[in-house]
């Protein structure tokens, strides 16, 4: 666990970048620091590995003040990923990844084997090992940056807007990759971003900072969306806050209709194949034509997916399926309405 204990950073020019910050980043979780540009995110992050020293207060790493640890030693135990990846241009990819094992004096073969393992782990072709960084795309470089940070298997990972400089599609895949990796590795991650969507997607806990380096709110994403602490947080969460909340509302309790496959279904009837999987909707007016359908996995997918599925089909209904893709029922406009009304209350 990383603990900020009344940490203040005042730069020599008098700028207070971080103001009496109290924050905990629990072990094995992703804690996201989010806030507008200049609110002290980078400063906070760099105080953890002592690239910047706090002016007041203490930062504890599993109870030990970081001030007591010699910086190079401290840093070799903390992975660090930044926006431009910061790869060494003069070193091949494999050597870039093996940087920290090399610093720690690992045997060359072992360091290399570890680097190759990580290259695959972050979803890169092992054939890239012998290339130089400039020969890789931005997204690939960023993956190498993550691999390099993980090379010596540090328990803590600091990430400063690591995915901000890549295009949205690549960013999404890097985010998914990080979540997949984290599910296997359970690192203590502090992730900095100015993008609230990214914060909500990645964070187990999200700390919202305001300019001047003051903590505005820290909460899990669901609570943040449903109960913003003040106008600043509400404003920062933006206009889509309501829609985003649906991401955190379960479809477990959603009422489903199971009579939509029979003849008595009404204007729309769901066609199901021999295995119980949906094939399409037919309308009473044009019984020979299959219309598109949308599905969600009940209990696993959130309300947002159910709503999305309903909007995808001219029937206005979302097909609920189980993990095998077999139809378990249908969420109609009425049942979705009920669930949304409930969400708005709760």
Partner 1 sequence: MGDGPPSIWEWIARNWDTGRVGSIKNLLLDHLTMSLVPIVLALVVALPLGLACVRWRWLYQPTSGLMNVVYALPSLPVFMLLISVTGLSQTTVIIPLTFYGMAVLIPAVVDGLASVPDHVRQSAVAMGFTPLRRLISVELPIAVPVVLAGLRVVAVSSISLVSVGALIGQGGLGGLFTRAYQNPFMPPVIVGIVLIVALALVADGLLVLAQRLLTPWVRARKGAGS
Ligand X SMILES: Nc1ncnc2c1ncn2[C@@H]1O[C@H](COP(=O)(O)OP(=O)(O)O)[C@@H](O)[C@H]1O
Q: Which residues inside 12-41 make contact with ligand X, applying CB under 6 A?
A: 13, 15, 17, 37-41
Residue nearer to ligand X on the CB measure, 38 or 299: 38
Binding-site partner at residue 252 among Mg ion, partner 1, ligand X, none, CB < 5 to 8 Å by type: none
Q: Which residues contact 313 (CB under 8 A, 6 or more apart)?
A: 281, 291, 292, 293, 294, 319
Is residue 297 within 8 A of residue 243, CB to CB? The reply is no
Q: Does 222 bind partner 1 (CB under 8 A)?
A: no
78 beta partners: 156
Choose one: 17-25, 86-94, 253-261, 301-309; the region binding partner 1 (CB under 8 A): 86-94
Binding-site partner at residue 15 among ligand X, partner 1, Mg ion, none, CB < 5 to 8 Å by type: ligand X
Binding-site partner at residue 86 among Mg ion, ligand X, partner 1, none, CB < 5 to 8 Å by type: partner 1
Residue nearer to partner 1 on the CB measure, 106 or 132: 132
Helix (H) or strand (E) holding 260: none
Shortest distance in whole angstroms from residue 46 CB to partner 1? 8
Shortest distance in whole angstroms from residue 11 CB to ligand X? 3
| Concatenated DSSP letters of 278-342 | EEEEEESS-TT-PBP--EEETTTSBHHHHHHHHHTSTT--EEEE-TTS-EEEEE-HHHHHHHHHH
Residue nearer to partner 1 on the CB measure, 16 or 103: 103
Residue nearer to partner 1 on the CB measure, 52 or 170: 52
Which residue intervals of the chain are DSSP H helices?
41-48, 71-76, 93-97, 99-103, 108-121, 138-150, 168-185, 196-202, 221-226, 231-237, 241-245, 303-311, 333-345
Is residue 170 within 8 A of residue 203, CB to CB? The reply is no
Q: Find tokens 């602490």 and name the residue.
A: 229
Among 15, 27, 84, 137, which residue sits at the site for partner 1 (rule: CB under 8 A)? 84
Binding-site partner at residue 37 among partner 1, Mg ion, ligand X, none, CB < 5 to 8 Å by type: ligand X
Q: Does 42 bind Mg ion (CB under 5 A)?
A: yes
Closest CA to 266 of 257, 276, 274: 257
Residue nearer to ligand X on the CB measure, 11 or 88: 11
Among 99, 141, 193, 295, which residue sits at the site for partner 1 (rule: CB under 8 A)? 99
Q: Which residues contact 65 (CB under 8 A, 6 or more apart)?
A: 58, 59
Shortest distance in whole angstroms from residue 57 CB to ligand X? 16
Q: Which tokens belong to 92?
A: 């091949």
Q: Answer positive or negative: Cα dihedral of 287, 293, 296, 302.
A: negative
Size of the site for ligand X (CB under 6 A): 11
Classify the phi-psi angles of 35: left when phi > 0, otherwise alpha if psi is within -120 to 50, otherwise beta: left
Shortest distance in whole angstroms from residue 194 CB to ligand X? 7
Closest CA to 104 of 68, 159, 154, 65: 154
Shortest distance in whole angstroms from residue 235 CB to ligand X? 17
Q: Does 80 bind partner 1 (CB under 8 A)?
A: yes
Residue nearer to partner 1 on the CB measure, 51 or 272: 51
Q: Does 85 bind partner 1 (CB under 8 A)?
A: yes
Largest CA distance in the chain: 77
Is residue 301 within 8 A of residue 310, CB to CB? The reply is no
Question: Rounded CA gap, 284 and 281, in Å?
Answer: 10
Among 134, 168, 169, 288, which residue sits at the site for partner 1 (rule: CB under 8 A)? 134
Q: Which residues inside 144-163 make contact with partner 1, applying CB under 8 A?
A: 145, 148, 158
- Which residues sit at the interface with Mg ion, rule CB under 5 A? 42
* Chain residues that interact with partner 1, rule: CB under 8 A: 49, 51, 71-76, 78, 80, 82-91, 99-100, 103, 132, 134-135, 145, 148, 158
Binding site for ligand X (CB under 6 A): 11, 13, 15, 17, 37-43
């Amino acid at each position: 666990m990383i603990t900020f204990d009344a940490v203040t950073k005042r730069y020599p020019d008098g700028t207070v970048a971080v103001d009496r910050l109290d924050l905990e980043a629990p072990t094995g979780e992703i804690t996201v620091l989010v806030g507008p540009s200049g609110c002290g995110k980078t400063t906070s992050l760099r105080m953890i590995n002592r690239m910047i020293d706090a002016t007041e207060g203490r930062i504890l790493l599993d109870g030990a003040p970081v001030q007591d640890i010699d910086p190079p030693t401290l840093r070799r135990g903390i992975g660090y990923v930044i926006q431009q990846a910061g790869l060494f241009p003069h070193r091949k990819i494999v050597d870039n990844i093996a940087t920290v094992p090399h610093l720690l004096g690992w045997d060359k073969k072992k360091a290399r084997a570890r680097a190759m393992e990580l290259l695959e782990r972050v979803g890169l072709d092992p054939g890239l090992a012998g290339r130089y960084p400039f020969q890789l795309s931005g997204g690939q470089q960023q993956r190498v940056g993550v691999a390099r940070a993980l090379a010596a298997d540090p328990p803590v990972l600091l990430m400063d807007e690591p995915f901000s400089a890549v295009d949205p599609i690549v960013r999404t895949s890097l985010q998914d990759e990080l979540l997949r990796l984290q599910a296997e590795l359970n690192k203590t991650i502090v992730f900095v971003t100015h993008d609230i969507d990214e914060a909500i997607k990645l964070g187990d806990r999200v700390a919202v900072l305001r300019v001047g380096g003051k903590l505005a709110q820290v909460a899990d994403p669901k609570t943040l969306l449903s109960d913003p602490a003040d106008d600043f947080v509400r404003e920062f969460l933006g206009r889509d806050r309501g829609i985003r909340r649906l991401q955190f509302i379960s479809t477990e309790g959603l009422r489903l209709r199971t009579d939509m496959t029979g003849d008595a279904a009404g204007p729309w009837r769901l066609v199901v194949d021999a295995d119980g999987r949906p094939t399409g909707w037919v309308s009473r007016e044009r019984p020979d034509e299959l219309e598109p359908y949308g599905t969600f996995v009940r209990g696993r997918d959130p309300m947002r997916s159910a709503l999305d599925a309903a909007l995808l089909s001219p029937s206005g209904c979302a097909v609920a399926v189980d993990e095998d893709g077999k139809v378990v029922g249908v969420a109609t406009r009425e049942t979705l309405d009920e669930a949304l009304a409930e969400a708005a209350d709760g």
